[in-house]
Amino acid sequence: MHFLDHPPRFLFFTGKGGVGKTSIACATAMQLAAAGRHVLLVSTDPASNVGQVFGMTIGNQITTVANVPRLSALEIDPQAAAQAYRDRIVGPVRGVLPEAIVKGIEEQLSGACTTEIAAFDEFTGLLVSSVLTQVFDHIVFDTAPTGHTIRMLQLPGAWSGFLEAGKGDASCLGSLAGLEKQRSQYKAAVEALSDASKTRLVLVARAQLATLKEAARTHDELAAIGLSKQYLVINGVFPAAQAAHDPLAQAIVDREQAALAKLPGALASLPTDQIGLKAFNLVGLPALRQLLEVSSDDPPSATVAPTQDPVVQAPSLSSLVDNIAVEGHGLVMLMGKGGVGKTTLAAAVAVELAKRGYPVHLTTSDPAAHLMDTLHGTLEHLTVSRIDPHEVTEAYRAQVLASKGAKLDAAGRAVLEEDLRSPCTEEIAVFQAFSRVIREAGQKFVVMDTAPTGHTLLLLDATGAYHRDVVRQMGSQGHFTTPMMQLQDPTQTKVLVVTLAETTPVLEAANLQADLRRAGIEPWAWVINNSVAAAQVSSPLLKQRAHNELREIEAVAHHHARRYALVPLLTEEPVGVERLSHMAANFTEFV
């Protein structure tokens, strides 16, 4: 493996949820320990299952991993770190500032930016010399900080009074409030990250266009701030030998090879490794020891391949659409992490509604979503639009800089400009553009792909900026409904949470649901996409993976969702109206 050649002291694994970062980080730590090195494995992933992988409880203290000499592990709980972080910042102003301002500060500190920075606050001590870490030759990190987080840590400490002065309406502003005391430690940590002789960043992706594009964006973002020593690992590549006599398996191989042939230029020059897809769950020492063995396609001896096809009973996407159609109009929002198929599912829902004779407006802000290519034609009653996120975000940034930034000094303006580069900014700008489309939902169905998170919506609500805007526009024209109010009304809006039948995507979807509920929005249904268990397969590898899905399907059906649908992994790409309809259909013969 190239990424294990002459490894430096620090190795960071980063990538989208569900690509296999944790498994690869665990296997790497084990391999280094087997080579005689003393290794500390650290997870800062909110969906961390390092303890589960090793079959033991780890938690927020350095713990020796049983049966693996020279290996220790530590799980930093980002949510607990974020809560302690919020308490430290908000505590002194509670009861001093007006309650409305305190709530605004709390919401500013509730998003992903704060969670990531709080976790970084916890593990920066591991990047500098300390008594705790001096005994370790290597420290392996599962989940690296993003370029946005590192850039924010490099900014001047111009935070005192920034929120209290009412300058924090933009997006994730305030995530670094109160960190002046840690500045010297952060400086040393960022220097360690930027030193190629000390740190190696490993981008983990799957052989899919979406995750490869995400890896390319991460590469560019980190390289721009000096973290240029990067490696690429493409995980879960389907072994061609396993595709014989199975049309679905062969289709997967063909799709993956096509994606790899279009590898983004930023990634093509990186040292690259491929890890084959395994039939077995990557839990336990025997499985982890096999993960990095290039030629190992067979499950460990402890794993017995299933002899029968899995049996699942689950509603189809079409049955969900039947219930959505009862209202005759309304807003349908598809939410979920990248790479789970939101755009395709949004198109399938829109096609199903239009085929029933309802007027439908399908809209997206995903720059990679070519809806017209997905539809591959037109359909009566269906209109399609796309919001350019770059265009609307630039306009929003200019507006905020002209208003909020007009009276700031250079340091304050630098802070504001960095905040406006955060992911939340794009969500807010796009939502403002979406809000014009939302109004149509009173007369027709509006199906929206790539929706804002609950944090972003709450942030808009906390600042009141958007509500005030609507009130100003409506004047004294009588009753009105703001977009936020409409999203909270289940008779007007149905949110579909999209996931895959895999551990990390399901956990991330559950976190998204909690985020939405905090904003007063109750998800209407979950959709489990690309399920092998719902397809017909003959490949032993796919049969085993189908059985592996059953636990996650059970968790969605009985613990997370009020209602749900299961969409099978298809042999043919769901492109074109007929294939999209086929995707939504009731696959009773398979479930």
Question: Which tens digits make up the pLDDT trace of 180-204?
Answer: 556 677 777 778 888 889 989 999 9
Asked if residue 275 and residue 328 are part of one domain, the reply reads no
543 part of a folded domain: yes
**DSSP H helical segments within 536-576, as ranges?**
540-555
The answer, yes or no, to whether residue 296 has pLDDT greater than 50, is: no
Mean pLDDT within 76-96:
79
Rounded distance between C-alpha atoms, residue 7 and residue 199, angstroms = 9
591 part of a folded domain: no
Tell me whether residue 339 is one of the annotated catalytic residues.
no
Tell me whether residue 45 is one of the annotated catalytic residues.
yes
312 part of a folded domain: no
List the domain range (segments joined by +) for residue 452.
317-584
User: Among 291, 306, 330, which residue terminates a domain?
Assistant: 291
Q: What is the pLDDT of residue 478?
A: 47
121 part of a folded domain: yes
Catalytic one of 17, 28, 45, 425:
45
Average pLDDT over the chain, rounded to an integer = 80
pLDDT in tens, 309-332: 666 788 999 999 999 999 899 999
pLDDT in tens, 534-583: 998 899 999 999 999 999 999 999 999 999 999 999 988 887 788 888 88
Tell me whether residue 171 is one of the annotated catalytic residues.
no
Catalytic one of 318, 343, 456, 504:
504
Asked if residue 40 and residue 156 are part of one domain, the reply reads yes
Give 3-state DSSP helix, strand, coil % of the chain, rounded to 5. Answer: 45, 15, 40
Domain with residue 567: its CATH number is: 3.40.50.300
Rounded distance between C-alpha atoms, residue 150 and residue 199, angstroms = 14
307 part of a folded domain: no
CB 388 within 8 A of CB 366: no
Q: Which residues contact 351 (CB under 8 A, 6 or more apart)?
A: 375, 379, 382, 577, 580, 581, 584
Catalytic one of 18, 174, 405, 454:
18
User: Among 241, 276, 291, which residue terminates a domain?
Assistant: 291
310 part of a folded domain: no
> Among 258, 193, 186, which residue's Cα sits nearest to residue 14?
193
Tell me whether residue 504 is one of the annotated catalytic residues.
yes
306 part of a folded domain: no
Catalytic one of 15, 20, 147, 330:
20
Catalytic one of 15, 16, 17, 21:
21
Asked if residue 542 and residue 493 are part of one domain, the reply reads yes
Asked if residue 544 and residue 453 are part of one domain, the reply reads yes
Q: What is the pLDDT of residue 232?
A: 96
Lowest mean pLDDT segment, chosen from 29-43, 333-347, 357-371: 357-371
CB half-sphere exposure, 551, CA atoms < 13 A: 8
Asked if residue 381 and residue 253 are part of one domain, the reply reads no
Catalytic one of 14, 16, 23, 330:
23
Tell me whether residue 22 is one of the annotated catalytic residues.
yes
Q: What is the pLDDT of residue 250?
A: 95
Tell me whether residue 226 is one of the annotated catalytic residues.
no
φ/ψ of residue 498, rounded to 5: -105, 135
Tell me whether residue 198 is one of the annotated catalytic residues.
no
Q: Label residue 132 by pLDDT band (50, 70, 90).
A: confident
Asked if residue 391 and residue 451 are part of one domain, the reply reads yes
Rounded distance between C-alpha atoms, residue 104 and residue 461, angstroms = 9
Cα-to-chain-centroid distance, residue 576: 27
Q: Label residue 170 by pLDDT band (50, 70, 90).
A: very low
Asked if residue 399 and residue 538 are part of one domain, the reply reads yes
**Does pTM top 0.75 for this prediction?**
yes
Asked if residue 483 and residue 404 are part of one domain, the reply reads yes
The answer, yes or no, to whether residue 447 has pLDDT greater than 90, is: yes
305 part of a folded domain: no
Q: How many domains does the chain have?
A: 2
Asked if residue 426 and residue 383 are part of one domain, the reply reads yes
Give Cα separations from 70 to 32, 33, 53, 135, 293 (angstroms): 9, 6, 17, 10, 21
pLDDT in tens, 487-535: 888 889 999 999 999 888 898 899 889 888 988 889 999 999 999 999 9
